Structure 1
Amino acid sequence: MFSKTCEYAIRALIFIAQKTKDGDRIGIKEIAKGIDSPEHFIAKILQDLSKKGILQSAKGPTGGFYLDKASRKQSLASIVRAVDGDKIFQGCGLGLKQCSETKPCPIHHEFKKVRKDLLQILENAKVGALTDALENSMVFLKR
């Protein structure tokens, strides 16, 4: 459903939110290990998200990635938009360019509801709020 880049971005941001809630910063090696991702790939993703203001980073010996208060309140939908754009929320379920209300694809009306539900789920899921279940081992981010 999401691109691999988007999947890693979401997992990384939830992991960073958990590990930096007390003001700490976390490095790429620990993030990659914590979410079971290739180090160079997650580094590239996080650098891009940092440039877009989705998360914060600091250089130097005490540097690393972290989320400030505002970033913790971001929805998963905002991350999806930053990485994959709006296509998943607006695009055709079959990938057709001309799919619309007047010229629907075979699954247009059913997929419209799926898109709406997915958007609502992701808008309501805030990065910082997802860390509690993670800390209580009720959910996980690693295979």
Structure 2
Amino acid sequence: MFSKACEYGIKASTYIALQSLEGKRISLKKIASAIDSPVAFTAKVLHQLAKHNILISVKGPSGGFEIPKEKIDSIKLSEIVFAIDGDSIYIGCALGFNECNASKPCPLHDKFVGIRDELKKMLRNTSLYELATGLEVGLTYLKR
């Protein structure tokens, strides 16, 4: 459903949020290890998230990534998805057709429109704080 970059972006943001709640700045290598992602690819994803002001990148020997504590609850998953994948998930065709709309629908169009709307609602209503606290108490995991 999400691109691989977006999946890593959500995982990385969640991990960084958890560390930030504990007052820690976390290195690129630790983030990549925690979410089981290649370091170079993780760096590219994190750069996109920093560019969209979702997280902060600090350079230098004690550098790394962080999210201000007061901002974690206001960051919604929809912002992360948009930063990485844009809005294609909300407008794309279920079967990948270039043209798919109500006047020229694919076989799944009518059913998929509702699913896309529910997905959009879930992403807009789910905060990074919710995901991070789920990790903190062991209800959720970032890798198996």
Shorter chain as denominator, the TM-score bin is: over 0.9
1:48 shift after superposition? 2.2
RMSD: 1.3
What is the rounded CA distance, in whole Å, between the counterparts of 2:52 and 2:131 in structure 1? 22
Deviates more, 1:109-118 or 1:85-94: 85-94
**1:1-143 matches, cutoff 5 A:** 1-68=1-68, 69-143=70-144
- Any conservation in 2 of the 1:17–1:72 contact (CA below 8 Å)? no
What is the rounded CA distance, in whole Å, between the counterparts of 1:71 and 1:84 in structure 2? 21
What is the rounded CA distance, in whole Å, between the counterparts of 2:108 and 2:47 in structure 1? 37
Question: Secondary structure at the residue paired with 2:21?
Answer: coil
What is the rounded CA distance, in whole Å, between the counterparts of 2:67 and 2:120 in structure 1? 23
May I ask how many residue pairs the two structures share in their alignment?
143
What is the rounded CA distance, in whole Å, between the counterparts of 2:129 and 2:23 in structure 1? 13
Deviates more, 1:68-77 or 1:119-128: 68-77
1:101 shift after superposition? 1.2
Taking structure 1 as the reference length, what is the TM-score of the superposition? 0.93
- C-alpha distance after superposition, 1:63-90 (max 9, x if no partner): 1100122354211111111111111111
- Any conservation in 1 of the 2:19–2:26 contact (CA below 8 Å)? yes
What is the rounded CA distance, in whole Å, between the counterparts of 2:89 and 2:29 in structure 1? 30
Gaps of 5+ in 2: none
What is the rounded CA distance, in whole Å, between the counterparts of 1:40 and 1:142 in structure 2? 18
- C-alpha distance after superposition, 1:82-140 (max 9, x if no partner): 11111111111112222111111111110001101111111111112211111111110
Identical pairs, percent: 45
